[in-house]
Amino acid sequence: MAIFRNLTIAAALLLPALAEDRQRNPDSYTWNPELSKEGPVLVTVSLQKQVAAVYRNGVRIGSCEVSSGKPGHETPTGVFHILNKDANHHSKTYGNAPMPYSERLTWDGVALHAGGLPGFPSSHGCIHIPYEFSKQLFGITHTGTTVLVTNDSPDVHVSNEHSMAFQGGESSDFSWTPEASPSGPVSLIYSKPDQKLFVVRNGITIGEGKADSGWFSKRPKGTQAFVFSGWKSDGSSSWTQVGGVKKDHAKALDEWFKLDPRFQHLLMGLLQPGTNLVVTAESVTQQTSSKPGFRVLQGVKEEQVE
């Protein structure tokens, strides 16, 4: 028994060192920014596989191991936007613990930052990433960058080009307040159960309106992310699916959204190469969806907790 106890103590003492070594190990990540040198960034995190991927203008430029929240402190899934950044952050909650290159996803303390990588979920809810990777990621993200966290597997099949048309439909109520966030990267979130399209800029909702869809409305499961690559000669738009591409979804789809014609006109004026579209089967409210496990944050500042 004494030998077993001593081995247990030794393992407990060794684990932080192993996690630190893995954090600094270049084999724990890839980084190839030359593959796409500019454009909006999208980060995807698979809690199931404990990996993250970084896309710029729809091109995958990096990936890494992660360590997410351990049992009892699970990392929430959802569509998040980076709320603020701090290269030298220290936690007020956990004894001034260093959290280098921290990128906050929620006001209650969930963030991406450099941390230990023991090979399994070990954090108090944050997403730990390799130290050198965190430095590189910190340099290309901005307030408002979209981060998609799911329990899905990462992409295993290359997605084909997808065509989407934003068409004028019946008149309906919609909101449009671009002055709430005058500039910055734009993301779209489509909620299937709500049949609503949300326009988010710098993490703040600047528009929302009713939207009927074709293929998406018939495929209620899972979360899909797409990146806008340009307009086609027929007036439709071209998109690339990133992350979570299942084999039966890898074929090209021809999708459409029908919106209030005024909303359609305003939206099309904002679309630029690199704009992200996240399609979710969750219902959206101002702060979270109807299910506690999946959040769609709208940039409403809550009381900040470190």
CA separation for the pair 69, 149 (Å, rounded): 12
Q: Set out the domains of the chain in order of their start, with CATH numbers.
A: 2-150 (2.40.440.10), 161-296 (2.40.440)
Q: H or E segment at 44?
A: strand 41-46
Tens-digit pLDDT profile for residues 89-113: 877 766 667 889 999 988 878 999 9
Tokens for 88, please give them: 């030298």
Annotated catalytic residues are 113, 126
CA separation for the pair 114, 30 (Å, rounded): 15
Phi and psi based region of residue 203 (left: phi greater than 0; alpha: psi -120 to 50; beta: remaining): left
What's the rounded mean pLDDT across residues 245-264?
A: 78
What's the rounded mean pLDDT across residues 212-216?
A: 84
- Residue 203 has a pLDDT of 76
Q: What are phi and psi of 63, to 5 degrees?
A: -155, 160
DSSP per residue, 224-253 = EEEEEEEE-TTS-EEEEEES---GGG-S--
Q: What are phi and psi of 288, to 5 degrees?
A: -140, 170
pTM of this structure = 0.78
Tens-digit pLDDT profile for residues 41-67: 999 999 999 999 999 988 889 999 999
CA end-to-end span of the chain: 41
- Residue 296 has a pLDDT of 65
Per the listing, tokens 């920014």 go with 33
Is 133's pLDDT higher than 50?
A: yes
Q: What are phi and psi of 295, to 5 degrees?
A: -105, 145
Query: pLDDT category, 160, cuts 50, 70, 90?
Result: low
Buried b (16+ CB within 10 A) or exposed e, 36-46: beebbbbbbbb
The amino acid sitting at 302 is E
% of the chain beyond a pLDDT of 90: 40
DSSP per residue, 65-92 = E-B-BPTTSPPPEEEEE--EEEEEEE-T
Query: pLDDT category, 283, cuts 50, 70, 90?
Result: confident
The amino acid sitting at 27 is D
CB 295 within 8 A of CB 78: yes
CA dihedral sign, ordered 64, 144, 280, 157:
negative
What's the rounded mean pLDDT across residues 124-138?
A: 95
